[in-house]
Amino acid sequence: MLVDTEEAIEFLMKSYVELGKDAAAIESRIDVVHQEIAQTGTYTQTLEELTIGAKMAWRNSNRCVGRLFWDRIQVVDARAAVTVSEIRDALFEHIGKATNGGQIRPFITIFKPGSDGPRIWNHQLIRYAGYASENGDIIGDPASVSFTEVCEGLGWRGAHGEFDILPLVIQESADAAPTVIEIPPELVLEVPIAHPDFPQVAELGLRWYAVPIISEMKLEIGGITYQAAPFNGWYMETEIGARNFADEGRYNKLAAVAEKLGLNTKRLDSLWKDRALVELNVAVLDSYHKAKVQIVDHHTAARQFGQFETNEQAAGREVTGEWAWLIPPVSPATTHMFHQRYPNKIVKPNFFYQEAPFERTEITPVKRGGCPFH
């Protein structure tokens, strides 16, 4: 694919100014890129360009409330990894370093660019399987049913439990067959969910993994597209407690939690859903804290986003955002974002969803999207 020269030059000028480069350095680099695109149709980004581009992509992610830490992400250049084993090793290393024993570190691992580069079929590197039965019941995560079927079609066999870790599916190039690779159990840190005041909640056997590593999105920097660039931040508790566990199209555990709390679920005006939702998020936060796994609550995250806004304004940059995703799904009116509006303008570099390399099965109305770093 021919690189848009104007997009490449715009990125170079913007990023090099942020890096403190002088006019001569900027002009020299632009000349080199011009010549390379003219000769080959594309250009190779330097490690410095790759690094600042990945950081800018997080800063420009409209759905992410955790952007205060955009410049702290650690960039791993894996463009030389081309075989399945090399890609696998880089992904395993990412999981281990990002998890960091629970002290989560933001990481991005960037593989070879272009349409002939590798693809990672997983939505996240770590994700639970979902099994659909003939009668319509689902065991596990309904959001993973299609991908679980793909994995089983490729020879993987899950235990058909509620929290089975899916394997990685790696395609080293567009014309290569996908390869299924199990993740070593010792790499996956999970947190069992219990409530500090209602021990009976632990009877539900809920658990969740420590770090969300998005792996299906493409990264676009200066006209270059990286189809495989898995990245992570850390969890905000509502993503687990108010969405993964509570959404009807996901684990749908709200009624079960309410029962454990002894709430009256026969009347909606008892507000049992609200009370169960809050306590479920309390359980998630307390469980992660006790397991010494990094997590942020939605009030702290909102305050951090306010600091991000202040920083960006001081730097002369407009703060873009998708309001419906910036506000938390629990008590949104208690945050300042609820009372503000943001231009939902797409600025590059950025992350974008791309067409899945496999056919999806529609089981339940599971919404895709959300903050890529949470």
Instruction: Give catalytic residue positions.
Output: 64, 67, 234, 239
- Determine whether the annotation assigns residue 151 to a binding site: no
CA-wise closest residue to 60 among 350, 373, 355: 350
CA-wise closest residue to 169 among 153, 182, 180: 180
C-alpha to C-alpha distances, 204 to 59, 261, 308, nearest whole angstrom: 38, 12, 38
Tell me the β-bridge partners of 140.
130
CA-wise closest residue to 150 among 181, 184, 121: 121
Binding-site residues from annotation for heme = 64
